[in-house]
Amino acid sequence: MMRNMAFASQHSEIALIRRSQSGDRQAFAELIRCHQNEVYGVALRFLGNPEEAKDVAQEAFIRIYRNLGQFRGTSKFSTWTFIIVRNLCYARMRRLEKDGFCSGENEEGREDLETLPEALVIQRDTQRGIQEALGELPEKYRLVISLFHFQALKYEEIAALLELPIGTVKNRLFRGKTMLRESLEKRGIR
Amino acid sequence: MKDACREIRLRFDETDPLRGAHLESCEDCVREYETWKQLNRLLDEMPPVPAPDDLLEAVLAALPRPRPKALPFDRLEAASVVLGLGFTLVAILLRGTELPSLESLFSQVPLSSLSQVLAWAAVGGAIAYALGNETRTLISVTGSYEGQVLRRKAK
């Protein structure tokens, strides 16, 4: 049953992609609806700033639309999409660094994390604690944990996205979660 | 930590057939696995991050406008012929009334009634074809202008 649903969903996505490739804007709008949370989420994990993430997500969809003709279906659409988002995020991070903006592990980065939509909706102390503990992790661990748990990406997808061997992804996930657990224990969260 | 334990713990997030056998004989790893599952549960309960409400709208407004499809040449030609025939029909119906004679336009060339009909058809067709081309140009120009405006707004 689940497999049939997955097949139907994949089949309808392929149909949407084909229609979008022939210039059907409504079909592309539907594709955006299906992927906007993932695209925005990945951008947010990379950049740690909702405004920048929204900007990159918008740019990513425009790039996806322009390059849809190059999508041959040899990889998953989501993987192809994530690689576009990743490249834009790297470019944006370089630009922000050049302009003197920081994101990630310093105090400013933490302030950014405080303003994440997640943080705004998190009411329980536990979730706030997890968010803070995640924010204190080195970026390479935080990114892998976020992509694995919040974006539900598989090892292979994370490896393709970050251009890392699968073994490194698994190691970072393990090491990052071990650090996270220790940090949570110090906060009394078990 | 033993190497075997580390290997198993590295694969706590995978479906590993060896894990069950190892856990049966290693209490440390059993405790570790329980803690690991609890951490996964906490992480999986974190609320998802929804995309901003206006993202879809912003993307659609910034998309390049599709180029208007130009009328196919043969369709334009067919329309010209139809209009030309229409002119001709009108010319025939009005024959005998004060229809301006093409003979007056081409006074040096004597025209039979058949050649007059054909000449009217040609004139009608040419007018229709020219109008069609103008319309096509107009559509193209306004289309690209609208695209420019939308892109500027999106920026």
Min Cα separation B69/chain A (Å) = 11
Separation of CA B93 from chain center:
46
The alpha-carbon radius of gyration of chain B (Å, integer) is 39
Mean pLDDT of B108-132: 68
Kindly report the number of other CB atoms within 10 A of residue A47's CB atom.
Answer: 22
- pLDDT score, position A2: 46
Looking at chain B, the whole-number percentage of residues with pLDDT higher than 70 is 59
Which member of B12, B35, B49 has the closest CB to residue A117? B49
Query: Is A9:A30 a contact under the CB 8 Å cutoff?
Result: no
Q: What backbone torsions phi and psi does residue A187 show, to the nearest 5 degrees? A: -85, 0
Output the domain CATH number for residue A31: 1.10.1740.10
- A49 and A109 within one domain: no
Min Cα separation B129/chain A (Å) = 28
- pLDDT score, position A179: 95
- pLDDT score, position A55: 95
Q: For B36-74, write each residue's pLDDT tens digit.
A: 999 999 888 887 788 999 999 999 999 887 666 655 556
Mean per-residue pLDDT over chain B, rounded: 73
- A9 and A95 within one domain: yes
- pLDDT score, position A113: 46
- pLDDT score, position A3: 46
Q: Which amino acid is at B154?
A: A
User: Which of A79, A86, A90, A44 minimizes the C-alpha distance to A156?
Assistant: A79
B40–A36: do the CB atoms touch at under 8 Å? no
- pLDDT score, position B104: 63
Q: For A9-36, write each residue's pLDDT tens digit.
A: 666 888 899 999 888 899 999 999 999 9
Instruction: Flag whether residue B69 sits within 8 Å of chain A, measured between CB atoms.
Output: no
- pLDDT score, position A123: 44
- A132 and A70 within one domain: no
- pLDDT score, position A83: 87
Total-model pTM = 0.59
B64–A66: do the CB atoms touch at under 8 Å? yes
**Of the residues A102, A123, A141, the one at which a domain ends:** A102
- pLDDT score, position B49: 82
- A1 and A54 within one domain: yes
Output the domain CATH number for residue A171: 1.10.10.10
- A24 and A96 within one domain: yes
- pLDDT score, position A97: 81
At B86, the pLDDT band (50, 70, 90 cuts) reads confident
The ipTM assigned to this model is 0.70
At B98, the pLDDT band (50, 70, 90 cuts) reads low
- pLDDT score, position A153: 86
Count residue pairs from A and B with Cβ separation < 8 A: 94
CA-based max dimension of chain A: 55
**Of the residues A102, A130, A155, the one at which a domain ends:** A102
- A109 and A67 within one domain: no
B40–A149: do the CB atoms touch at under 8 Å? yes
- A2 and A96 within one domain: yes
**Of the residues A64, A80, A102, the one at which a domain ends:** A102
Number of domains chain A contains: 2
pLDDT tens-place values along chain A, 190 residues long: 444 555 556 668 888 999 998 888 999 999 999 999 989 988 988 888 899 999 999 999 999 999 998 888 887 888 889 889 989 998 998 888 877 665 444 444 444 544 555 544 444 578 878 888 888 899 899 989 988 998 888 898 899 888 899 999 999 999 999 999 999 998 887 7
- A88 and A143 within one domain: no
Domain assignment of residue A163, given as a range? 104-190
- pLDDT score, position B102: 58
Q: Which residue has the higher pLDDT, B36 or B141?
A: B36
**First CA to last CA across chain B, in angstroms?**
56
Q: What backbone torsions phi and psi does residue A141 show, to the nearest 5 degrees? A: -80, -45
A29–B60: do the CB atoms touch at under 8 Å? yes
- A58 and A113 within one domain: no
Which member of B11, B48, B63 has the closest CB to residue A37? B48
